[in-house]
Each structure stands twice: as structure tokens, then as C-alpha cells.
Amino acid sequence: MQYIDLEQWPRYQHFKLFKDFDFPHFNLSANVDITRYLAMVKKQNYSFTLAMVHLLTHAANLRTDFRLRIEGEKVVEYDAVHPSITMQTGGDLFSYCRLEYSDQLNRFIADSNTRVDTVKANPTVTFSSRLDLLYITSIPWVSFTSLKHPAHRNPQDSIPRLAFGKYFRTGDQVMMPLSVQVHHGLMDGIHVGQYYQTVQELLDQDG
């Protein structure tokens, strides 16, 4: 973890511009091609949700901008960020479950299954005070085209919010909607576009 020298930071003026907005976040939604990744997940008998959470978190950890957070008047860069997911825990209700990132998919899924079982036994909607998180939610009932997340105004909430929806077939491809919401003081559309490119590159890799 390290603090950014704001006076030397190339986007300091952009940060100052957006940090005091009532709603300084923006959201992009687009489809990604999960054809190859889905085949691998099914072959390995992994949970699709946990496998996708891992890939999205891995993509975020490959990028500096998705590891930046606002801490008071400072900006901090974390060495790694970890997913905090929503999960159904009974009826129509959900709970939060904080997972621990590992660059090894099988290790991540094994550890996450244990954490998920713990939350199922003790549901909670308590927010963590940690900033080194990614908020990730799955909406498997809808192939959405847009989505907006709630976010705190005070203190500044700069944790990226990711959502993936119901995948669908179009010809020989399997597509999935992916929504990315970020703080505009920390990044712009070009950076989110680059994140989508990183995600797609990971999805296209073999096993």
C-alpha cells in the first residue's frame, strides 16, 4: 500500500474536479464473450459465479487504477484488492460475503466456498470498513443493458462496483452483460474501456 503524491499525480486536477460531486460515479455496461471461459468452468465443474468473480478481480488487480481508493483527502494505491460479493441466504434476501483474492483459481474457489458456507450459516448485511475491496454482484435472472448501484456520498465511496448478468447465446457465442461503476475522480471512460479489454483477454485464454 502506498499513498499517491497528489501534487505530482497526472490526474490531480481531474480528482479535484470530481471528488466533491454529489454523485461522482459513472457506469458503463456492455456484453463480453464468455464462450471459452464458460466451457472451461463447466469442464472443471467450478461454480460459475465464483469463477467469474475471480476473473473480474484478477483483471482489476492487473490495473493500477482499479486499486486506487480515496481515504479522506488522500488517494491510496493498494497492492491487491479483494472481492466482496452479494449472495442469497434465504428467500429473497441477500447477505454480503468478503472473499480473499488469490491468483490461483482453484485455491480461490476452495477458500471462497468455505467463506460462503460461513455466511449462509450467519447471514449479515454489515458493510466492511476496508477499502481494498471490489463490490461484485451477480444478477442471473436478467440480461441487463444498464445498471446503477447505490453509493455513499459522505465519506467518499470510491470502491468500484461490478455486476454481471444472465448470459445468453447469439449464434456460436455465449455473451454476458457486465456493468462497471467507478469514481470519476480516479478514472475515466478510457480506463474502464481498458478494463473491459483486460477482462475479454482473460476470458479468451485457454483453461
SS (H, E, C) the chain: CEECCHHHCCCHHHHHHHCCCCCCEEEEEEEEECHHHHHHHHHHCCCHHHHHHHHHHHHHHCCCHHHEEEECCEEEECCCCEEEEEEEEECCEEEEEECCCCCCHHHHHHHHHHHHHHHHHCCCCCCCCCCCEEEEEEECCCCCCCCCCCCCCCCCCCCCEEEEECCEEECCEEEEEEEEEEECCCCCHHHHHHHHHHHHHHHCCCC
Q: Which of 25, 183, 184, 191 is catalytic?
A: 184
User: Is residue 184 flagged as an active site residue?
Assistant: yes
Residues with a known catalytic role = 184
